[in-house]
Structure 1
């Protein structure tokens, strides 16, 4: 395809004679061209297939030498190190054809096609649509096991929310080391060809040996032993004396159980220092995102090029240097002059890359493009953007429960930019069964950016499913899915009319270590006639409403969490990748603001994700809690049931709401996604790319006789609630990645099978997009 007029084309193919085809006019041709065979001598073509032997294989002997010397390579051989780092991120729209160019979607934006280029790796045409450059100084100390990266410059082709995109892409291509057993990206753990488990996963062939930059090296080719596993194919060059990698390339297996990614390609290059030490100088990562893996389907290239230079060693820095936090969001960092980049850019931009900056500046002035951008942002964030105001979240617009019937909700938030110092948020809702209006409003203000001192407060009048989680929350606008799920199992009538007001402050005393003090005042009463929160007061009178002020002190520690931005709200870009440690102490106040009860509550939670290499990924959660004092149902700790058709982590899928109630509890949750490890070994199932998920949940609880005796119905008749004094447990097996977006869990109740209405078996599901 060409915009120029040509009179002929030349057609060639390996082993056939060159042929000239005349073109009579400028038009679209559909041709069938026949070439004549040509006698020629081809160079050697080497094709590898089948399983290689693990015994007497020189490639595996070399691999073992690499294992023995892996910790002695690169910067790890020095006490301290520092170097310059240049990183370029790029997104490209690929597989550009005439149909796409002529599409009405791009009417008024035809100038973008001037930037089309062809990939040297895949051979597909592509259009650069986004580029970001970053320059940093990296310091490390191997004796203290510390590393610090200081961003000195950042330039992007930008829209205002580009930093979220940049962070998302960086997390996808998180730093990896080819010497590690597993390389993690796209939330998956790929087996490295240099892994100690590699001989069970890959076939290795010693192909060649030659000098590479005056160093004698061996060339080893590798490819997977089995299909549908998270593996690569490619080759690497390794030095014969240091056993350090000189060059390596990795291409993900086409059959890998990976969604939305058609191609993954990695190249790394190393240079020699002092005749023995190999340091990485270039790291290139290309991925091809596409809804379909079929050849010819359109997609988006994600590319990251990282260059390293100016290595220095054994220049010590004290501990305070590594402890001191550096503000990466200074204005000048994102507004460096062109001269800064001309001096520090380690690889010149191509003509097309240079054109991206100008093209996107022009695109932002095209109304049609802005409309498409806003629609895409709405589905990604759940909010539709207006000037300084976001409407949403749109996914909470409709709901249903027994108290309100069909429910409609509308809300929004102030939004001047992702780094706002303050934010207001609110909603209004209406139920067509109870004919009542509900609302909520909250605000927060970042007083000090360094300590992240935040003042917050709000008020909400709403219908809520209390006890949807063991660890209670004073989030004034937080609302559980169970409160308004459109489809439920059994009667969703155990609901509470809640009036909650909060005020408080929080501070981040250390990185990801947040302390919070909250004052809350709530009133609670039953929202339906079939559910009672009534209790007997100290005089034996029936009370149908509880008024309760409370003060809570809490800490929340999330080591390893990556946050984006510096405003009052920050985005977490690696959700589910870090542990969470939470602890709180709450004190209920009596006779202050008409408080009804005096009590103390202790709660703690610990959640830990586990990457288990080739065996997938697991989550575990431990929770414990204790209430000291005499309190009725509304202030106790119900064991969180799940009456929706969705699998909700940290709930019990086979329990009804309020089936178990406690004032002392300990629970354990376990979930393991094997990522298709076993399905990949079943020939007729393998191509479906299904994934296995197993789960186990257990809880122990106690309920004092005094607290149990407080609860009555509106007529004063006792209501007896049960605690799981014999540990309640249930388990599940699931099939995930159905059509790439669904998971079905089969849930089995382990005991308490004789409880009234006990659900012995149930099915729940998950819908979502994941790699």
Structure 2
């Protein structure tokens, strides 16, 4: 017995010594790497730097991984009847194809500069197989982090906690594998793995850490799950500065253990499962992968660097797409890729034959709600809608495109309601006076109706929706005719803005009189000056020959708007001003959950009519039975607040949404649960001025909370909300709102 006890104690001591000393040693290595992040961070230690980057992105397959056999498969005519055998040549044809060429290829050469504060990439040459003009969004994909020294590390748009973050020990376990020499320096090879997500979905990998400086000399990062994503970083040691500087990056996507389509930015990758239990045969898509490799050269540091237009993170030069093969040759590796040239030649002919350029252009237009028809883009948003005042609203609208002119544009629409029988229309035109800033000067004339007291920011883009749920139940509108002149520009860094002067005639379509002094107005004229500005200070933008694109959306984002009447100008009747503010914030958590916060506020001063005040976006109809009030949920509306129940001349609104990790009930039923809380406060100055429509104020606050169960099946979902607090109603059922939701997902990221 003593012998076994002694053996057990000896083994415990040995194992503890091995694990304990190893754990203690690797803990010290990682702690030192964390503590010295700023000393080893390229952008913190060097005053300036610049280098050239050559990037090649491929969609391809290894021919040796494809069986390439002619197979016999069993089929039934029209799905039934006597079975018969048919030869399937898919594998054979695919193997012959990928022996000869890649599926897709694009290249770019860039100058990367850092001036001590900003880092900018200037694309001086690019080409994309099959396209005379590249798909610029692809050039802006941020597939992996540039730096290894942030609190988070990004792979394919997903943020993970960095293995050398301040709180990394709570998420990762580490193992010291070896010590070796790299570029003449001693480095530690350390593997890391997420403690709770080591098998699926968690970040894992290997770090090679300099034994003296504790800088990262090489890194391999990967995530295994539905798809396998990996990113690696190569570095070169700079003796003069005692720092490891980047030499290149590599990014790869391969198939994981799944049988569902995977959505990535702007595309859908179709995979089929691999394994002995799979009911499906191995498909060619199972061996297809995406690979992006970047090599850096001509590294210079601490030399004067001047970056023009620093607020643009990526700039594609106008002549970048005109570069020939001789331009790219010096940047390529010595190894010859025999499949490269056939890729460009074949895809160029395929794209031309299949008119893929035109199909891509059509797809881009449709996503934004347009169908190109020669020099005119027809606007799908005006075709059909419904509300309680107009009934079915049927119309047609459009805007000229670049085939008409790149400098001038004409836009307009016409519509008629089946219930009110009135024709509405708008016509306008503009001229571009600045290409880089995309500055336009224009005018418009409009005769239409609008919801009473609705808060709208002029800079907001009119998003295309198959349906717009909230206005269906709106019944209180005002008619207006307006003439406006405007300047639309992006000249202020990281902003879009509209500056305009408008003259309007307002005709409320409900019983309302506005009292000013000793006079009552049932209709009136307004002349206003307005500036509306969207500011995204933390986002990254790419400037291309065809415009500016927001390639990296970061939060918070801010929207400002100020409106003021112009006394004694164009027949203006009242004097008032309005200031509106909106702030959006989103945070994606490492575990797949997401939190979104929306803050809105508005303040009107002076003699402002009810039509131009605030209703805080209600979306509940007045019915006695909770089931009779079931309608379609809005995006950010108060689902338990009744239409025309509250009005304010000043208000503040807060909304918090927390989206849980998507659940799987069955293979096809995967609902998304969202916890929602909304609250608002407001007041009405000079309430006695508004005669004819009864309403309450929000000075005691308004509160509602609920749960959205979205995308239960085919985009359909259900939601339930409860109203509580000072403005809660006496009857329990009147505080409840049940809604149907619908989310149409086309695979594009938001």
- Name the residue aligned to 1:28: none
1:310 CA displacement: 2.0
Contact 2:401 2:409 in 1 (8 A): yes
Which among 202, 207, 214 is matched to residue 236 of structure 1?
Answer: 207
1:144-543 matches, cutoff 5 A: 144-157=116-129, 159=131, 162-167=134-139, 170-173=140-143, 175-227=145-197, 230-254=201-225, 262-274=227-239, 276-288=242-254, 289=262, 290-291=269-270, 294-295=273-274, 296=282, 298=285, 301-317=289-305, 328-345=315-332, 350-367=337-354, 373=360, 376-377=363-364, 379-393=366-380, 397-416=383-402, 420-450=406-436, 452-469=438-455, 471-473=456-458, 478=462, 485=468, 491-514=473-496, 516-527=498-509, 531-535=510-514, 543=522
Is 1:85 aligned with 2:71? no
Question: What is the SS of the residue equivalent to 2:644?
Answer: coil
TM-score w.r.t. the length of structure 1 is 0.75
1:616-627 matches, cutoff 5 A: 616-627=593-604
1:517 CA displacement: 2.5
1:681-738 per-position Cα deviation (integer Å, ceiling 9, x unaligned): xxx999987655333322221112x3444332xxxxxx22222011212233445675
Contact 1:631 1:710 in 2 (8 A): no
Contact 2:656 2:677 in 1 (8 A): yes
CA distance in 2, matches of 1:366, 1:468: 49
1:274 CA displacement: 1.9
- Name the residue aligned to 2:677: 696
- Name the residue aligned to 2:14: none
| Residues 293, 214 of structure 1: alpha-carbon distance in 2 compared, 3 angstrom cutoff | farther
1:362 CA displacement: 0.7
TM-score w.r.t. the length of structure 2 is 0.77
CA distance in 1, matches of 2:669, 2:465: 31
1:222 CA displacement: 3.1
Question: What is the SS of the residue equivalent to 1:316?
Answer: coil
| Residues 525, 570 of structure 1: alpha-carbon distance in 2 compared, 3 angstrom cutoff | farther
CA distance in 1, matches of 2:250, 2:205: 14
- Name the residue aligned to 1:723: 697
Which among 27, 30, 40 is matched to residue 63 of structure 1?
Answer: 30
Question: What is the SS of the residue equivalent to 1:357?
Answer: helix
1:21-60 matches, cutoff 5 A: 56=23, 58-60=25-27
CA distance in 2, matches of 1:379, 1:58: 58
CA distance in 1, matches of 2:171, 2:713: 27
Contact 2:314 2:543 in 1 (8 A): no
1:452-502 per-position Cα deviation (integer Å, ceiling 9, x unaligned): 442122233334334443x54387x959989x746878x431233343332
1:639 CA displacement: 1.7
Question: What is the SS of the residue equivalent to 2:327?
Answer: helix
Contact 1:446 1:567 in 2 (8 A): no
Is 1:140 aligned with 2:114? yes
Contact 2:234 2:247 in 1 (8 A): yes
1:322-374 per-position Cα deviation (integer Å, ceiling 9, x unaligned): 85979945432321233221223457672323323212321233147567656
CA distance in 2, matches of 1:328, 1:374: 22
| Residues 307, 638 of structure 1: alpha-carbon distance in 2 compared, 3 angstrom cutoff | same
CA distance in 2, matches of 1:755, 1:607: 34
Which among 753, 761, 764 is matched to residue 737 of structure 2?
Answer: 761
Question: What is the SS of the residue equivalent to 2:320?
Answer: helix
| Residues 335, 193 of structure 1: alpha-carbon distance in 2 compared, 3 angstrom cutoff | same
CA distance in 1, matches of 2:464, 2:446: 14
1:612 CA displacement: 5.2
Question: What is the SS of the residue equivalent to 2:122?
Answer: strand
Contact 1:468 1:641 in 2 (8 A): no
- Name the residue aligned to 1:553: 531
- Name the residue aligned to 1:73: 40
CA distance in 2, matches of 1:69, 1:113: 50
CA distance in 1, matches of 2:546, 2:453: 29
| Residues 689, 720 of structure 1: alpha-carbon distance in 2 compared, 3 angstrom cutoff | closer
| Residues 502, 333 of structure 1: alpha-carbon distance in 2 compared, 3 angstrom cutoff | same
Contact 1:203 1:222 in 2 (8 A): yes
| Residues 277, 561 of structure 1: alpha-carbon distance in 2 compared, 3 angstrom cutoff | closer
1:578-620 per-position Cα deviation (integer Å, ceiling 9, x unaligned): 4333333322246644433222222233333445555844333
How many corresponding residue pairs?
673
| Residues 172, 54 of structure 1: alpha-carbon distance in 2 compared, 3 angstrom cutoff | farther
| Residues 222, 512 of structure 1: alpha-carbon distance in 2 compared, 3 angstrom cutoff | closer
- Name the residue aligned to 2:87: none
Contact 2:136 2:544 in 1 (8 A): no
Contact 1:422 1:568 in 2 (8 A): no
Is 1:666 aligned with 2:652? yes
Contact 2:498 2:533 in 1 (8 A): yes
CA distance in 1, matches of 2:364, 2:24: 53
Contact 2:469 2:634 in 1 (8 A): no
Question: What is the SS of the residue equivalent to 2:419?
Answer: coil
CA distance in 2, matches of 1:74, 1:487: 50
Contact 2:50 2:112 in 1 (8 A): yes
Q: Gapped runs of 5+ residues in structure 1?
A: 1-51, 103-109, 119-125, 256-261, 713-718
| Residues 591, 481 of structure 1: alpha-carbon distance in 2 compared, 3 angstrom cutoff | farther
Question: What is the SS of the residue equivalent to 1:145?
Answer: coil
Question: What is the SS of the residue equivalent to 1:117?
Answer: helix
Contact 1:179 1:194 in 2 (8 A): yes
- Name the residue aligned to 1:633: 610
Question: What is the SS of the residue equivalent to 2:691?
Answer: coil
1:389-414 per-position Cα deviation (integer Å, ceiling 9, x unaligned): 32333x65332211222233333322
Contact 2:453 2:612 in 1 (8 A): no
Question: What is the SS of the residue equivalent to 2:738?
Answer: strand
Contact 2:124 2:317 in 1 (8 A): no
Contact 1:384 1:390 in 2 (8 A): yes
